[in-house]
Amino acid sequence: EVKHFHKIIDEMLVDVMEENAEIRIILQTYFQQNGLELPTAGPKGSRQSSRSPSQTSLLSTRSSRSTTSTTSQTSIKVLELNFPASSSVTDISRPPSATSSSNN
């Protein structure tokens, strides 16, 4: 069940990255900063081309449930993704203090 949930999330991320290069760069930066690899597309034909509303509700339902796995322990990293309204690729690597100007 958790593996299926993880697979759906990976597929959604891949779909978004394929459709928007700017988001791919942002996600790549966040993942690299946290020592994680970006998900990649599976073999052709194994991915579903579109998401049904039931899959979206399935994600929200499963994310609110607590699951316990007795077969393996996995380290979980949580990334907080804050996308600015109009982001610039050059602003990604700067800390927030470097992007704000001080008028003294």
Q: pLDDT at position 86, please?
A: 61
| Tens-place pLDDT, residues 8-39 | 998 999 999 999 989 899 999 988 998 888 88
Measure the CA–CA gap between 5 and 1, rounded to whole angstroms. 6
| Tens-place pLDDT, residues 75-104 | 667 767 777 666 555 555 555 555 555 555
5 token code pair: 């949930």
Measure the CA–CA gap between 5 and 67, rounded to whole angstroms. 11
Q: pLDDT at position 69, please?
A: 47
Among residues 5, 6, 3, which one has the least CA distance to residue 62? 5
C-alpha dihedral, 42 to 81 to 83 to 62, nearest 10°: 70
Q: Model-level pTM? A: 0.42
Whether the predicted pLDDT of 58 surpasses 60: no
List the domain boundaries for the chain.
2-40+49-67+75-99
Residue 93 contacts residue 42 (beta carbons within 8 Å): no
